[in-house]
């Protein structure tokens, strides 16, 4: 389990638990309330670690109820079967086989991943598992208390995450269809509605929290309109996963199902899928046969046949409906990783079938005894843990927190950051809200600035920190016609950024400009100087004096030290992991820093900048083994060495200059091998030829 903050939404969720704000839609109030209790009640570890424990506990409870679902189902089948030769042993074995079902789910890589850090998915798995258990028990007992408890569980589940609705709707409809005389009795029906509303009570927290929101808090949930908009995720698109400009407009359901099936095959090593199929047919055909037998027409026999169909219906309903609503762009492993986490809910049902499938196989080979099953289950769990433990162990992973600190720790005092990107905003929010790191720095989340409630709820906090808003609403893309009260980035920067105060920085790019030429607001995007993971915001027509160039170079070199943290190797994390993404981004920023130091040398002959460029590229070439590392790294390294050789020559350090020039030429030659079609190839070859001729002349003169 992570000892600190994880990636994705983890930083936002933990920060909300610390400062009691409102998380991104739909607010996740139950997770916030429980996480806030964990943060304040547990005396050990970082705030993130304490909320991570909530995920681990939720995942454990989910596995426990999955065991109960499988055990109840198997015991029902065993009790109603008169063909048993080993009665008591079979009852004992049902527990071990149910444990197999729970283990296969809990220790699958996908489920394990979301049990290690603060996210809402482990808790969602817990509520879905409880709901499946109550559904099965109600089918057997018809006890109204189970229905009432299930109603409250559905409400609590919706207070955590909405995807439980895709199980709740079919379960409610199936039970009303089966038991209309019981569930639609006025008194019981009203009690079910009451307990459902009790489960939804955590949403009242959103109303209270929005009255005095901290920086980074979402929405205007203290009004009815704002609350409904936030809970229904209207700003993302209700029941939509993604709100980006590149969202997939038309979902490819077939592609979604194929990806789910392939992932399931890999996570269960093919055997699990085969056992799940066997388990379904074992329940379906066995129950059907027993129902037709006049001597075995009890409710238990009918139950297993019906439950088999209902579980398959739940699985199908979830995959088809959710797959149809999914609008994530199908373009990267990162987006696939986001999509995968919603497959865990389907895997709960698959795991039940896996347990039943093991039972069927054991009965077929007539070795249905606990002394055989127990060692087999223990061995299977040990093998699964052994296979994945090294990959899933996050106890020493602190890449996300170090990445967040790199935004803050070397920045000038009272800096102001304009930030884009979920992981960037969330980790900064966590470090400031939970660990009080660099509270003097002000950050503006570009995504939040797009929403109509921002001026009322967030801008007024920032105005107290000397941020000026030239309107009441951010106007969006520069191609859109603005209303009088709206403003653009150009207007915002004009009234805030002063040449005399180098305090404004952009981190993660500019919203709405990502796909446009210039990649930034007009008049503000040509001059770029990296400060760690951010870039100094500088107007294109401002002149940089030699003194300013030296000052900026010195500050940038100081900020660059924040990137000196250990980056994971490409094989340490899967491509969809945030750590993998962050490592790639950090190497890219280091490359940009090297280029910009070369630019400072070319523009103002800032010697310390040239030295920094040489050192930076030497370190990148030696250490960066990232896939897709651009060959241009070698080109700029060769250029920096060539410039540096000239400086050494001017300083009368002839021997060092010759050695540096040789390194430069060797680097350029390596580059041309990797980039044979470079448009400046002829220029580089001419440079190599002239430099080698000069080196030969130097040898002769010696």
pLDDT tens for each residue of 400-441: 999 999 999 889 999 999 999 999 999 999 999 999 999 999
The rounded distance, in Å, linking the Cα atoms of 224 and 329 is 32
The pLDDT of 450-462, averaged and rounded, is 92
The rounded distance, in Å, linking the Cα atoms of 683 and 669 is 13
Task: Report how far apart, in Å, the C-alpha atoms of 16 and of each of 210, 214, 459 are.
Answer: 12, 9, 18
Contact 70, 98 (CB under 8 A): yes
Can you name the residues that pair with 417 across neighbouring β-strands?
443, 505
**Residue partners of 366: CB distance under 8 A and separation at least 6:** 85
Task: Report how far apart, in Å, the C-alpha atoms of 8 and of each of 142, 286, 422, 427, 511 are.
Answer: 42, 45, 7, 9, 19
Helix/strand/coil (H/E/C) assignment for every residue in 18-30: HHCCCCCCCCCHH
Residue 684 burial (CB count, 10 A): 18
Provide the 3-class DSSP secondary structure of residue 486. Answer: strand
Nearest-5° angle of CA 242, CA 243, CA 245?
A: 115
Phi, psi at 184, each rounded to 5°: -95, 10
- Would you state the pLDDT for residue 499? 78
Percent of the chain with pLDDT over 70: 89
Per-chain mean pLDDT for the chain: 87
Most confidently modeled of 199-208, 334-343, 451-460?
199-208
DSSP state letters, 98-148: HHHHHHHHHTSHHHHHTTSSS-SHHHHHHHHHHHHHHHHHHHHH--HHHHH
Least confident of 202-211, 460-469, 564-573: 564-573
When pLDDT is cut at 50, 70 and 90, the band that residue 131 belongs to is: very high
The pLDDT of 638-659, averaged and rounded, is 91
Contact 334, 252 (CB under 8 A): no
Domain spans of the chain, in order of start: 10-392, 399-563
Model pTM score? 0.90
Nearest CA to 623 out of 633, 609, 613 is that of 633
The rounded distance, in Å, linking the Cα atoms of 370 and 91 is 9
Q: 393: which DSSP letter?
A: -
Is pLDDT above 60 for 242?
no
Provide the 3-class DSSP secondary structure of residue 504. Answer: strand
Contact 244, 327 (CB under 8 A): no
The pLDDT of 626-637, averaged and rounded, is 86
Q: Write out pLDDT tens, residues 247-299.
A: 444 457 888 899 999 999 998 888 989 999 998 888 877 655 544 444 444 55
Least confident of 219-223, 668-672, 675-679: 675-679
Q: Is 269 left (phi over 0), alpha (psi -120 to 50) or beta?
A: left
Whether the CA torsion 318, 319, 320, 324 is positive or negative: it is positive
b/e map 543-560, b = 16+ CB within 10 Å:
ebeeeebbebbebbbebb
Largest CA distance in the chain: 110
Helices (DSSP H) in 268-327: which residue ranges? 271-292, 299-325
The rounded distance, in Å, linking the Cα atoms of 132 and 65 is 8
Q: Write out pLDDT tens, residues 581-593.
A: 899 889 999 999 9
Nearest CA to 447 out of 479, 415, 419 is that of 419
- Would you state the pLDDT for residue 238? 57
Q: Is 319 left (phi over 0), alpha (psi -120 to 50) or beta?
A: alpha
Contact 291, 306 (CB under 8 A): no
The rounded distance, in Å, linking the Cα atoms of 559 and 601 is 18
Is pLDDT above 60 for 200?
yes
Length of the chain in terms of residues written: 702
- Would you state the pLDDT for residue 527? 74
The rounded distance, in Å, linking the Cα atoms of 464 and 65 is 50
Phi, psi at 179, each rounded to 5°: -130, 55
Provide the 3-class DSSP secondary structure of residue 505. Answer: strand
Tokens coding 26: 């739909």
b/e map 441-452, b = 16+ CB within 10 Å:
bbbbbbbbbbbe
Q: Write out pLDDT tens, residues 348-394.
A: 999 999 988 888 887 776 555 556 777 878 888 888 899 899 989 99
Contact 467, 377 (CB under 8 A): no
The rounded distance, in Å, linking the Cα atoms of 207 and 553 is 48
Contact 638, 668 (CB under 8 A): yes
The rounded distance, in Å, linking the Cα atoms of 551 and 599 is 15
- Would you state the pLDDT for residue 162? 94
Is pLDDT above 90 for 223?
yes
Contact 15, 436 (CB under 8 A): no
Task: Report how far apart, in Å, the C-alpha atoms of 142 and of each of 145, 147, 174, 179, 290 are.
Answer: 9, 8, 13, 9, 21
Nearest CA to 54 out of 152, 109, 126, 102 is that of 126
The rounded distance, in Å, linking the Cα atoms of 215 and 461 is 7
- Would you state the pLDDT for residue 515? 53
The pLDDT of 603-627, averaged and rounded, is 90
DSSP state letters, 600-666: HHHHH--HHHHHHHHHHHHHHHHH---TT--THHHHHHHHHHHHHHHHHHHTT-HHHHHHHHHHHHH
The rounded distance, in Å, linking the Cα atoms of 76 and 94 is 10
């Amino acid at each position: 389990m992570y000892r600190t903050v994880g990636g994705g939404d983890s930083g936002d969720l933990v920060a909300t638990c610390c400062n009691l704000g409102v998380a991104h839609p739909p607010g996740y109030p139950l997770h916030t309330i429980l996480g806030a209790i964990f943060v304040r009640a547990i005396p050990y570890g970082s705030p993130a670690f304490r909320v991570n424990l909530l995920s681990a506990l939720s995942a454990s409870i989910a596995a426990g109820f999955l065991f109960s679902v499988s055990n109840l189902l198997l015991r029902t089948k065993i009790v109603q079967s008169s063909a048993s030769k080993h009665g008591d042993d079979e009852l004992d074995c049902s527990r071990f086989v149910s444990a197999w079902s729970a283990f296969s789910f809990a220790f699958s890589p996908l489920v394990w991943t979301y049990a290690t850090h603060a996210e809402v998915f482990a808790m969602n798995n817990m509520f879905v598992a409880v709901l499946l258990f109550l559904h099965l028990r109600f089918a057997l007992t018809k006890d109204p208390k189970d229905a009432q408890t299930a109603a409250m569980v559905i409400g609590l589940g919706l207070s955590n995450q909405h995807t439980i609705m895709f199980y709740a709707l079919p379960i409610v409809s199936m039970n009303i269809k089966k038991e209309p005389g019981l569930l639609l009795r006025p008194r019981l029906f009203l009690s079910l509605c009451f307990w459902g509303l009790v489960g939804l009570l955590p949403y009242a927290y959103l109303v209270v929290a929005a009255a005095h929101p901290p920086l980074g808090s979402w929405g205007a949930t203290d009004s009815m309109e704002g609350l409904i908009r936030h809970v229904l995720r209207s700003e993302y698109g209700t029941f939509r996963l993604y709100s980006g400009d590149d969202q997939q407009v038309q979902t490819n359901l077939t592609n979604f199902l194929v990806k789910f099936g392939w992932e399931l095959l890999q996570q269960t090593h093919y055997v699990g899928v085969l056992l799940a199929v066997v388990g379904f047919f074992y329940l379906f055909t066995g129950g059907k046969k027993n129902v037709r037998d006049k001597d075995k027409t009890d409710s238990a026999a009918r139950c297993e046949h019906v439950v088999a169909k209902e579980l398959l219906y739940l699985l199908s309903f979830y995959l088809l409906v959710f797959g149809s609503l999914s609008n994530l762009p199908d373009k990267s492993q990162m987006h696939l990783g986001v999509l995968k986490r919603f497959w865990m809910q389907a895997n709960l049902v698959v795991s039940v079938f896996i347990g039943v499938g093991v039972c069927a196989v054991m009965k077929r080979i007539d070795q249905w005894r606990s002394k055989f099953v127990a060692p087999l289950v223990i061995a299977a769990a040990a093998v699964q843990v052994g296979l994945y433990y090294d990959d899933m162990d996050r106890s020493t992973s602190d890449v996300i927190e170090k990445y967040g600190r790199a935004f803050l720790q070397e920045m000038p005092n009272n800096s102001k950051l304009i930030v884009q990107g979920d992981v960037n905003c969330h980790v900064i929010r966590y470090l400031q809200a939970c660990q009080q790191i660099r509270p003097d720095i002000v950050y503006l989340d570009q995504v939040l600035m797009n929403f109509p409630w921002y001026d009322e709820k967030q801008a007024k906090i920032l105005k107290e920190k000397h941020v000026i808003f030239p309107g009441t609403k951010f106007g969006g893309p520069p191609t859109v016609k603005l209303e009088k009260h709206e403003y653009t980035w150009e207007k915002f920067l004009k009234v805030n950024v002063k040449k005399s105060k180098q305090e404004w920085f952009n981190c993660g790019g500019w919203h709405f400009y990502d796909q446009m030429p210039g990649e930034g607001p007009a008049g503000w995007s040509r001059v770029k100087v990296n400060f760690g993971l951010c870039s100094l915001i500088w107007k294109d027509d401002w002149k940089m004096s030699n003194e300013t160039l030296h000052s900026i170079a010195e500050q940038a070199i100081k900020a660059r030290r924040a990137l000196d943290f250990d980056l994971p190797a490409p094989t340490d994390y899967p491509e969809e992991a945030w750590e993998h993404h962050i490592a790639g981004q950090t190497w890219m920023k280091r490359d940009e820093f090297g280029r910009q130091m070369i630019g400072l040398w070319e523009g103002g002959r800032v010697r310390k900048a040239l030295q920094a460029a040489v050192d930076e590229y030497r370190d990148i070439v030696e250490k960066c083994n990232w896939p897709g590392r651009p060959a241009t790294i070698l080109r700029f390294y060769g250029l920096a060495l060539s410039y540096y050789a000239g400086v050494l020559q001017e300083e009368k350090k002839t021997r060092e200059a010759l050695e540096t020039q040789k390194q430069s030429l060797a680097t350029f030659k390596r580059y041309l091998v990797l980039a044979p079609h470079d448009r400046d190839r002829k220029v580089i070859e001419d440079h190599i030829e002239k430099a080698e001729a000069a080196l030969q002349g130097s040898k002769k003169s010696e």
